[in-house]
Structure 1
């Protein structure tokens, strides 16, 4: 096996992996698009099977701009869901809850009355 055989193998492997990434991105975009009907989706999938390279190029030309927009909308929706979850989990409890927790600690003698008063004042501010 010569040096150029190895280089050729690397180039072909890169092209194949790049093509697979484009194809999976197309399929993901196709099924993510709520505006495309089932028939349109089926036609694109059949075209991908029959003439994969031509279909990939045509798809990227025809629907490329929409792919970016749909991906941005999906990323924005995911970020909003994540932010909502973080706010829900990280939100401080209400002052009444904080005072009740401090009172429970005082009753369990885990804190002193002075510490309880300090926690209660902090919760009310």
Structure 2
């Protein structure tokens, strides 16, 4: 049996956790470099080389220099995803188009089922659910 004190175990766990956080930050920064539209291809290449060749200095420099814009790009992407999700809800709750034949009843059932799932998942409030249901059935 080996002698490995409890404090060493905690220290090892802390180092492992910090290592995982480091990789998360590194991948987040690499994704942000590729997602950034305000940098030229050469600037992106320079940041990638800096982050890969001198990882600690490169990552810290990127966070210091471009950290604020990185947060803004994350916020913009979240707003676009939210808008797309809300548009999907509007499209799913829209009344059927003209010329829909016998499948109209089936379509209503499917769309009501989608609305109920969205409500159950917490994506829709009770009021939004009722409005969408009334719009669909009305």
Partner of 1:113: none
Picking from 3, 19, 32, the partner of 2:22 is: 19
* Distance of aligned partners of 1:95 and 1:25 in 2 relative to their CA distance in 1, 3 Å threshold: same
Partner of 1:41: 44
Q: Report how far residue 94 of structure 1 moved.
A: 5.6
* Distance of aligned partners of 1:101 and 1:57 in 2 relative to their CA distance in 1, 3 Å threshold: closer
Larger radius of gyration between Structure 1 and Structure 2: 1
TM-score in terms of structure 1 length? 0.73
Alpha-carbon RMSD: 2.4
**How many angstroms apart in 1 are the aligned matches of 2:104 and 2:49?**
62
Deviations 1:22-42, CA, capped at 9 Å, x for gaps: 111111111111111111111
TM-score in terms of structure 2 length? 0.66
Give SS of 2:95's match: coil
Partner of 2:70: 67
* Distance of aligned partners of 1:101 and 1:19 in 2 relative to their CA distance in 1, 3 Å threshold: closer
User: In 1, are the aligned partners of 2:51 and 2:59 still within 8 Å (CA)?
Assistant: yes
Deviations 1:22-68, CA, capped at 9 Å, x for gaps: 11111111111111111111111111111101111111000000001
Instruction: Determine whether 1:31 maps to 2:34.
Output: yes
Unaligned runs of 5+ in 1: 103-122
Number of residue pairs the alignment of both structures matches: 104
Q: Which runs of 4+ in 1 moved over 2 A?
A: 92-98
